[in-house]
Chains A and B, each alone.
Chain A
Amino acid sequence: MPIYECSEHQFIENLRKLLDTNFKIIVKRLGKLHDDAKHNISRLPESEFTKYDAILYKKGVRSNVYAAKPFYDELHKRFYHLDEQIHSNKYWRAVTLSIPYIRMEYSFDIWGETYCYSFDALFQPEIKIEKKKLKSQQYDQNSKSKSVLIHVLSFTPPSQETLQITLPPSVIIFDISQKLRP
């Protein structure tokens, strides 16, 4: 069964053409949380990278990324030292800081063919200065566990509205958790 990948514009227009001919369409919606470093920090456009400016820096476009300040990544429970390499452009598999995202896939089947549109909605970073109790091995090997005032990076999930494509009530939406292929 052929599967055709569409852009947002193509997917919606294909759907509209079918609706205009009074077809009853079932759209399958699949949303899944990922945290696999697919979207690495050095490949972010500048306008996105600036959201991390308080704690990260890089020397050029698509170059290594370093910690501008000591900070704690709350999601991955990891402490980063000042100037620690966060992402290596050369050894890109050695990514240490992953941006979580929700992958949304919309698809419909017609005449034995599948048309789909997918996108990844990135979690947004939130950087605060907080008092955190860090273990000795996380913060300083020579010291005991202690509370320190530190930059804390956390991530906020994208809102539901941005994950949804609003469709007319004549389109039936089925939520699914996995696609199985024979």
Chain B
Amino acid sequence: MKSPRENSLKSLSLYVSLESVVDEVLKLGFSEVACATVVSSSKFWARHVYRNGVETVTVSDEIGDADYLRDPVVTICGGLKTIKSLKKLE
């Protein structure tokens, strides 16, 4: 049985701009703790890690010269309130 305080896991692939995702994350009281360039699935991503106490949100945004629609991938290990707020952006 999951304790009510235990963080939940959720990943969202959001068809919205990176700026609106970051705005929402910052509004929720998170602050950026690290950033790195990663290569996954043959694509380059800017991986930003945000923390708010025990909650962690990772925002991976594709970088590169391709002009197709990009979807920032948001991975949340946090409370239901955080998940609900970011899910609203879907």
Contacts and interface: CB of A to CB of B under 8 A. Distances in A.
Given A12-B75, A165-B75, A166-B56, A119 B40 contact: yes
Interface string A8-29: 1101110110010010000000
A25 B60 CA distance: 24
30 contacts: A8-B73, A9-B11, A9-B12, A9-B13, A12-B75, A16-B9, A16-B11, A44-B44, A101-B39, A117-B40, A118-B40, A119-B45, A120-B39, A121-B47, A122-B39, A124-B36, A158-B36, A159-B34, A161-B33, A161-B49, A162-B35, A162-B36, A162-B47, A166-B77, A168-B7, A168-B8, A168-B9, A168-B77, A169-B7, A170-B2
Q: Is the interface of B mostly helix, strand, loop or mixed?
A: strand
A16 B77 CA distance: 10
Counting chain B CB atoms within 10 Å of each CB, which of A47, A101, A119, A163 scores highest? Answer: A119
Contact of A12 (B7, B9, B38, B47): B9
Interface residues of A, number: 38
Q: Is the interface of A mostly helix, strand, loop or mixed?
A: mixed
Contact of B44 (A48, A61, A118): A48
Contact of B11 (A8, A46, A169, A170): A8
Contacts of A39: 39
Contacts of B13: 9
B37 A122 contact: yes
A7 interface: yes
Interface residues of B, number: 33
B34 A162 contact: yes
B10 A16 contact: yes
A61 B34 contact: no
A45 B38 contact: no
A167 interface: yes
Contact of A167 (B9, B33, B37): B9
Interface string B48-65: 010100001010100111
Which 8 pairs, one residue from A and one from B, show the smallest C-beta to C-beta distance? Answer: A12-B11, A162-B36, A119-B40, A161-B34, A166-B56, A158-B36, A166-B77, A45-B64
